[in-house]
Structure 1
Amino acid sequence: MGTGVATPGDLASCRRELAAALPADALLADPADLRTYECDGLTGFRVQPALVVLPRSTSEVAACVAACHRHRIPFVARGAGTGLSGGALPVADGVVIGLARMRDVLEIDSANARMRVQPGVTNAEISTHAAPLGLYYAPDPSSQVVCTIGGNVAENSGGAHCLKYGFTVNHVLAVTMVTADGTILEFGDDCADRIGPDLLALIVGSEGTLGIVTEVTVRLLPKPAAVRTLVADFAAVAQAADTVSEIIAAGIVPAAVEMMDKLAIAAVEKGVRAGLSTRAEAILIIEVDGFAGQCDEDFAAIREICAAHGATAVHIPADAAERALIWQGRKAAFASMGQISPDYFVQDGVIPRTKLTPVLDRIAEMAREADLAVANVFHAGDGNLHPLVLYDARIPDQAERAEQLSTAIAELCVDAGGSLSGEHGIGTDKACSMPRMFSEIDLAAMDRVRAAFDPDGLCNPGKVLPTPRLCGERPGPYRPHPIETAGLAGRG
């Protein structure tokens, strides 16, 4: 592939140019500051960048990128750092362009139900600003209170309610993007039917490899008139999985269908105390929304299907506060794993709904073979699995075995007719598995598209597409040196 890490250029000259283009507090070079940016949510992979810059506007981003381009310095855009695939992993001799200070809401167009924001605005903040108008933003990643819309665009993020409403790509109308040479371009518009190739859809989900998005116009939706939620307990994971398939086969499209297994429930109840049953082997959280009459009809049918598949209990929250607590528990599932394991890898494969049971059974077998535990919490309605491989990095070889199991699970999803990723992206974590899903011709075509935007390979290099350097010298889980463990030194 032609878009690996570029040969480093003149970093000192680039630094001087960046310092001249930005306010004094917008350039970080102290090693203590740089350590904050050495990884994203995939904390097993760590690389300390040479510099971090914190622009506040599209023009400042363009100046930073132009300087990097002139001096052949690779750069990586970073939002809130909540990504789970190593997509914001820095380059050792490169620059991180942090967008966290770009947090302005630029325009709210209530008549046309849209909002234009900078990339550092969080997912939840969009709905907060839209709420007084009776509107909201539908995609809702579990990290929505901290993850930013720029990162959502990069990864084409989803969330629990994307079963009915679609992913980020279905809710982005336009973006402003700085390309790899510092040029400012706009993609998308207000038209419902666009003419020509849909370059906007190409950018959404490109994981920051084509440029840096600095403004996003999102579609807002009216708040639903009615919302109904239930939690169904099951004595077997297979019963819960079969229930999901039958609900969809019945022609019902809930707003959300989430599944958690016993291990995930135990972690959530220790961390959040959401009132979920720790006796159940699996639970489904099912929500319908829309007009009241249709909600009631669908809700009744769903309850009947749950009962027919052996639900041991069906709990309906008494009020909005209890419903919010249930969703708080589901969305805190990843963070709650710290209650039962010191470390974990989270995977993000997609499979056909009808294969939920055999794939989950195989994951359990693989976990036993690796002598590791796997907790499952996922968007069951669209087959987007999030197996969490639990391990303890202090125990020799556990990190390696956990990483191998995590990769094997992702590739199992491909073998089952699915995908390596549903919403977390490929990043660094799964780039070397891309040949499992795509042919050499496919990957070469993707590389040509990427090179059309970034011929020098400076923009988020080493991500998404496999390269000999990446797959031959994977950074692997971070392991502290014995001197560091003894407290005699730290990473500089």
Structure 2
Amino acid sequence: MSSPQPSIPPDTASLEALRQSLALRLREFLPREAVLTNEEDQRPYECDGLSAYRKLPWIVVLPDTIEQVGRVLKLCSERNISVVARGAGTGLSGGALPLSDGVLLSLTKFSRILEIDPDNRTATVEPGVRNLAISEAVAQYGLYYAPDPSSQIACSIGGNVAENSGGVHCLKYGLTVHNILGLKFMTMDGELISVGGKTLDSPGYDLLAALTGSEGMLGIIVEITVKLLPIPERAQVLLAAFDDIEKAGAAVAAIIASGFIPAGLEMMDNLTIRASEDFVKAGYPVDAAAMLLCELDGINEEVNEGIALVRELLLKQGATEVRVAKNEIERLRMWAGRKAAFPAVGRVAPDYYCMDGTIPRKHLAKVLTTIGALSRKYGLAVGNVFHAGDGNLHPLILYDANKPSDLKKAEELGGEILEACIAVGGTITGEHGVGVEKINQMCLQFTKEELDQFHALKAAFDPKGLLNPGKAVPKPARCAEFGRMHVHGGKMKFPELERF
């Protein structure tokens, strides 16, 4: 006699029946191996780079043609089933976190470079193409794609568009939104729409900018046309060490105030300097309280002039050491440590929680001091590594997920860091997006009326609200609850930091 089977609640049974029915329909036009319903196959999709949040997908689909994407969306729309788009999974805000009752649509098979147009300095690519692969493909024409997130060896261009990613050279060359010309995307109903093109401007509303940074909530991006730039004649890096982090912050402000805009201007504190040096052996000054990497590029004469100017400014601002990369190998080694900072810090503690806020540069020193005080308050170490030139902070909160209270403390500490950013006139994200990580802080950043406008924009693209629901833009009820819990008498914490 077979053992009795456990009873399944009717709602769970209905959901499972719906899942199996949908899987059958999907397999009518997708290969069987492109529709994943087994737990073992779905596990790789349960989280993104922000692995503190995990959820097993309901169904995962891996289409490889625009027609297939359209049919998936149309089928889900007809059945009122939500869809979450996923790229390479390197996101850091939980924006691609799956739903327990929705389809996870992976775009990793869209990995083709469709056209390279060196005369017009453009490339048209599918969303699954790796960021670095674009520059590698166009290098033969003396061109490259400027935005370079630290994860550029793995992150996909579609994800970069969804989060409006930046990178270490965004100070001079801008974010993703400044480096793309056109998109093709699909609505939830499966309609293919083109915005922009190969020209610098196009008629009508700027939907290209609206879609960039929209975190998969407005449409599914299936094709991107990017700008390409000539590879600079020369690029050179200066490394400056400081015995005080506030001096390093003041040096950043002094460089920008001089009117000279470096290609990149990055800062690391002592914790991240040591971790990166142990990991990469880049030759970093491990006794420094803070370190700046400042890259200059352009024609030889411009770089020569810039190096002399910046070196003088750094010494005047109290740098204890200023080093100039002697050759390309040394330049790349200096950057290797910075680009490996996140995984390097991961070797110091069992887990880390990466934040992403942006502040006016003049408040760098004050906010870093506040972060230090919060670190002591919560008893969790914080490593600071960030795009100092544009005020984009990436505090890395070290914790141990094996300790039940540690993640909660890390989340609370991260929330207070974001609140400090808001208090000085900054914002809760610079390039990682809101996702699920910062959705509560959206209630502090924006008024109810502003959030209503965000919802109205989403409704114009996605009337049923089926694309990536529950991410980025909070509902009024959530903000009301968050406000009761965290905002007292209409006042945020850190009133001493408020300037606006």
Bucket of the pairwise TM-score, normalised by the shorter protein: over 0.9
Closer, same or farther in 2 for the Cα pair 1:473/1:181, shift >3 Å? Answer: farther
1:42 lines up with 2:43 in the alignment:
no
Q: Deviations over 1:61-108 (max 9, x none)?
A: 111111111111111000010000000001111111001111001011
What's the counterpart of residue 444 of structure 2?
Answer: 436
Q: Deviations over 1:302-335 (max 9, x none)?
A: 0000100111111122221121111111011011
1:413 lines up with 2:421 in the alignment:
yes
Q: Distance in 2 between matches of 1:57 and 1:415?
A: 46
Q: 1:258 aligns with which of 247, 257, 266?
A: 266
Q: 1:166 aligns with which of 168, 171, 174?
A: 174
What's the counterpart of residue 253 of structure 2?
Answer: 245
**Alpha-carbon offset, residue 424 of structure 1:** 0.2
One-letter identity of the residue aligned with 1:465: V
What's the counterpart of residue 51 of structure 1?
Answer: 59
Q: 2:156 aligns with which of 139, 148, 151?
A: 148
Q: Deviations over 1:18-75 (max 9, x none)?
A: 1111112211111011111111111111111111011112111111111111111111
What's the counterpart of residue 212 of structure 1?
Answer: 220
Greater Cα shift, 204-213 or 18-27: 18-27
1:391 lines up with 2:416 in the alignment:
no
**Alpha-carbon offset, residue 296 of structure 1:** 0.8
Q: RMSD of the alignment, in Å?
A: 1.6
Q: Distance in 2 between matches of 1:16 and 1:264?
A: 50
Q: 2:205 aligns with which of 178, 190, 197?
A: 197
Q: 1:362 aligns with which of 370, 375, 400?
A: 370
What's the counterpart of residue 282 of structure 2?
Answer: 274
**Alpha-carbon offset, residue 470 of structure 1:** 6.5
**Alpha-carbon offset, residue 11 of structure 1:** 3.2
1:30 lines up with 2:42 in the alignment:
no
User: SS at 1:20's partner residue?
Assistant: coil
Gaps in structure 1 of 5+ consecutive residues: 1-6, 475-492
What's the counterpart of residue 472 of structure 2?
Answer: 464
One-letter identity of the residue aligned with 1:157: S
**Alpha-carbon offset, residue 468 of structure 1:** 6.5
Q: Distance in 1 between matches of 2:201 and 2:433?
A: 27
**Alpha-carbon offset, residue 182 of structure 1:** 1.0
Q: Distance in 1 between matches of 2:229 and 2:185?
A: 25
1:225 lines up with 2:251 in the alignment:
no
User: SS at 1:328's partner residue?
Assistant: helix
What's the counterpart of residue 331 of structure 2?
Answer: 323
1:123 lines up with 2:131 in the alignment:
yes
What's the counterpart of residue 188 of structure 1?
Answer: 196
2:19–2:59 contact (8 Å) kept in structure 1 = no
What's the counterpart of residue 496 of structure 2?
Answer: none
Q: Distance in 1 between matches of 2:115 and 2:35?
A: 28
Closer, same or farther in 2 for the Cα pair 1:468/1:342, shift >3 Å? Answer: farther
Q: Distance in 1 between matches of 2:188 and 2:419?
A: 32
Q: Distance in 2 between matches of 1:468 and 1:194?
A: 35
What's the counterpart of residue 388 of structure 2?
Answer: 380
**Alpha-carbon offset, residue 196 of structure 1:** 1.8
One-letter identity of the residue aligned with 2:42: L
Q: 2:354 aligns with which of 318, 334, 346?
A: 346
Closer, same or farther in 2 for the Cα pair 1:471/1:344, shift >3 Å? Answer: farther
2:236–2:331 contact (8 Å) kept in structure 1 = no
TM-score, normalisation: structure 2 = 0.91
What's the counterpart of residue 493 of structure 2?
Answer: none
1:21–1:64 contact (8 Å) kept in structure 2 = no
User: SS at 1:238's partner residue?
Assistant: helix
Q: Distance in 1 between matches of 2:51 and 2:192?
A: 32
User: SS at 2:392's partner residue?
Assistant: coil
1:295 lines up with 2:303 in the alignment:
yes
2:60–2:106 contact (8 Å) kept in structure 1 = yes
**Higher relative contact order (Cα pairs below 8 Å, separated by 6+ residues):** 1
User: SS at 1:287's partner residue?
Assistant: strand
Greater Cα shift, 213-222 or 266-275: 266-275
1:286 lines up with 2:294 in the alignment:
yes
**Alpha-carbon offset, residue 189 of structure 1:** 1.6
1:47–1:90 contact (8 Å) kept in structure 2 = yes
Percentage of identical aligned residues: 48
Q: 2:460 aligns with which of 449, 452, 466?
A: 452
Residues paired across the two proteins, number: 468
One-letter identity of the residue aligned with 1:128: E
